[in-house]
Amino acid sequence: MRIAISAAGAGPDAPAEERFGRCAWFVIFDEHGNVQESIANTARSSAEGAGVKSTQLLLRNNIDVVLTGRVGPKAMHAMLNGGVVVYTGVAATVNETLEKYLNGQMKPLAVPNARQHAGDTRSERLAT
Amino acid sequence: MIIAVASGKGGTGKTTVATSMALSLQDMSSEVTFIDCDVEEPNGHIFLCPQITGSDNIYIEVPEIDRQKCTRCGKCADLCAFNALLATSDEVIVFPEFCHGCGGCRYFCPVEAVTMMPKKIGTVEKGLAGRVKFARGRLEVGAALSPPVVDAVKKHSTDQGIIILDAPPGTSCPVIHSVRGSDFCLLVAEPTSFGLNDLDLAVQMVRSLGVPCGVLINRARERSCLIEKYCREHELNVLMKIPLSKDIAGAYSRGIPLGAVDGKWNKAFRRIYRDIRELVANEGNNRYQR
Ligand code: SF4
Ligand code: SF4
């Protein structure tokens, strides 16, 4: 099994990241908690559909579980269909998040918990 | 003459200005057309109360994947620039809301598993409000792609007479599609520091399109000097000021055009039109000399 954690940097000591589609990195572990690799999230700069593209990246990398914070409707739909299980409630760092997950303290997510574009920083999106 | 009425953000009274202007110009030209390009929230009709005489549906083509033929190679998902496709291990999922209908996925699919199917993304309606010709685009609920609907409604502009385009608020894609190709853009601004920031973005956008512009200050009050100072610094003409007043605010909220509040506004809009015509003519001359 492969577990991905959304993160602001590479490696297990990096800060974990709340935003799924817009995170900079995914840090990958096996189910025993051994770090395997860090994958740069090339999808984060997409104007549209960053969540879908990020999901595609996870599928390419045979990820089974993702630990993150906020997931929008399109990304949730994509992960449900792609068979990626989502848990939310990341801790401060990647390592602490993994520990929390292994202790069964993270919440499985079945419905989106953020609105679309919630991870965007462009103010244009926020103003309606 | 095509005049686009735009603003850096919503709620500046842009639609009131655009509709009032269209009505005021009825007597100046044999033909006045009002085109509502704010396809996400068209509300020019509230002020103009047009009689709708016809409508057309607007479609784009989105892919449909033949599951029998598809080998799940993932090529289509890789090349789609809009992330509208997700290739999972057992199917390709289409997110039609992201699809721009470019057809790239069909073109590159090695086994011809993709067919393009029309998807309705909006409607364009036309009608008549008094002597003003009226057209509006409306984006389908759930559709995210407004530029094709904007382009479709803009086809109702002719070479004849005066055309007033009510652009969507903001400075994004659909606004650019609305303003592009206009002879002039009238920017409606509010005298607040936020309003100034939005105006600045709008000015940059309009100038990058090569469309000459001028400013109308709405809800003008003491702090209007903020906008006026900006305009001086950026060589922009303040073409009109509409004061902050109870009567006018009431008219906005009830969908009454300004000319119906007080006939003096009809005169003011005719004056602004003459000013714009002059500015456009000068601009043309300058360009010719350069
Ligand atoms: S390119 Fe064609 S065969 Fe490959 S995944 Fe897409 S639809 Fe299927
Ligand atoms: S038509 Fe273009 S935008 Fe739509 S899914 Fe295919 S490649 Fe993507």
3-state secondary structure chain B: CEEEEECCCCCCCHHHHHHHHHHHHHHCCCCEEEEECCCCCCCHHHHHCCEEEEEEEEEEEEEEECCCCCCCCCHHHHHCCCCCEEECCCCEEECCCCCCCCCHHHHHCCCCCEEEEEEEEEEEEEEEECCEEEEEEEECCCCCCCHHHHHHHHCCCCCCCEEEEECCCCCCHHHHHHHCCCCEEEEEECCCHHHHHHHHHHHHHHHHCCCCEEEEEEEECHHHHHHHHHHHHCCCCEEEEEECCHHHHHHHHHCCCHHHHCCHHHHHHHHHHHHHHHHHHHHHHHHHHC
pLDDT tops 70 at residue B9 = yes
> pLDDT tens-digit profile of B196-216?
888 999 999 999 999 999 999
Residues spanned by the domain of B273: 2-58+124-289
Structural domain total, chain B? 2
CB of B119 within 8 A of CB of B61?
yes
The ligand minimizing its distance to the Cα of B65 is 1
Q: Provide the pLDDT confidence category of residue A122 given band limits of 50, 70 and 90.
A: very low
- Domain of residue B275, CATH code: 3.40.50.300
pTM of the model: 0.76
Among A56, A77, A127, the residue with its CB nearest the CB of B9 is A127
Residue A17 has pLDDT above 50, yes or no: yes
Q: Pick the residue with more confidence: B224 or B242?
A: B242
Do the domain assignments include residue B212? yes
State whether B94 and B164 are in the same domain: no
Residues 6 or more apart whose CB falls under 8 angstroms from that of A83 comprise: A64, B88, B89
Nearest CA to ligand 1 atom 6: B76
pLDDT of residue A121: 55
What is the rounded CA–CA span in Å between residue B206 and residue B210?
A: 7
Residue B278: inside a domain, yes or no? yes
Q: Are residues B31 and B153 in the same domain?
A: yes
Structural domain contains residue B31: yes
Q: Are residues B37 and B108 in the same domain?
A: no
Beta bridge partners of B51: B128
Are B97 and B226 in the same domain? no
Same domain (yes/no): B9, B78: no
Confidence of residue A125 (pLDDT cuts 50, 70, 90): very low
Number of residues written out for chain A: 128
Residues B165 and B249 in one domain: yes
pLDDT digits (tens, 9 = 90+) for B133-159: 999 999 987 777 888 889 888 888 777
B106 lines ligand 1 (CB under 6 A): no
* Percentage of chain A lying above the pLDDT 90 cut: 78
Of B87, B89, B95, the CB nearest to A49: B95
What's the pLDDT score for residue A115? 78
The reply to whether B100 and B177 lie within a common domain is no
pLDDT digits (tens, 9 = 90+) for A38-58: 999 999 988 888 999 999 999
Cα distance between residue B132 and residue B121, in whole Å? 27
Torsion sign, CA atoms B204, B210, B213, B218? negative
Cα B164-B169-B173 angle, rounded to 5 deg: 95
More confident residue, B253 or A109: A109
Domain containing A77 — which CATH number? 3.30.420.130
Calculate what percentage of chain A has a pLDDT beyond 70.
91
Choice from B64, B67, B73 to test ligand 1 binding pocket (greatest atom count within 8 A of CB) = B73
**What is the structure's pLDDT at A127?**
33
User: Domain for residue B277, yes or no?
Assistant: yes
Give percent of chain B with pLDDT exceeding 70: 98
Q: What token pair was written down for B274? A: 């003459």
Same domain, B91 and B41: no
Predicted complex: ipTM over 0.90: no
Question: What is the structure's pLDDT at B220?
Answer: 83
> For B11-26, how does the pLDDT look when each residue is reduced to its tens digit (9 = 90+)?
788 899 999 999 999 8
Output the pLDDT for position A124: 38
Q: Is residue B119 situated within a structural domain? A: no
**For the CA of B92, the nearest atom of ligand 1:** 5
Residues B185 and B230 in one domain: yes
Q: Distance (Å, rounded) from C-alpha B109 to C-alpha B128?
A: 47
Query: How many angstroms separate the CA atoms of A49 and B16, rounded?
Result: 35
Which residues of chain B from 225 to 284 reach within 8 Å of chain A, CB to CB? none
Count, in order, helices (H) and strands (E) of chain A.
4, 6
**Is the shortest distance between the CB of B111 and ligand 1 below 6 Å?**
yes
pLDDT digits (tens, 9 = 90+) for B89-107: 889 999 988 898 999 999 9
pLDDT recorded at residue B196: 87
Q: Identify the domain boundary among B84, B112, B140.
A: B112
∠ Cα A61 A11 A30 (to 5°): 50
Count how many pairs of residues, chain A against chain B, have C-beta atoms within 8 Å: 52
Task: Find the helix or strand (DSSP H, E) in which B120 lies.
Answer: strand B114-129
The answer as to whether B118 is a domain residue is: no
Number of domains comprising chain A: 1
Give the residue numbers spanning the domain of A92: 2-127
Radius of gyration, CA atoms only, chain B: 22
Residue B160 shares a structural domain with residue B252: yes
Residues B234 and B273 placed together within one structural domain of the fold: yes
Q: Identify whether residues B152 and B36 lie together within a single domain.
A: yes
- CA B230, chain centre distance (Å): 24
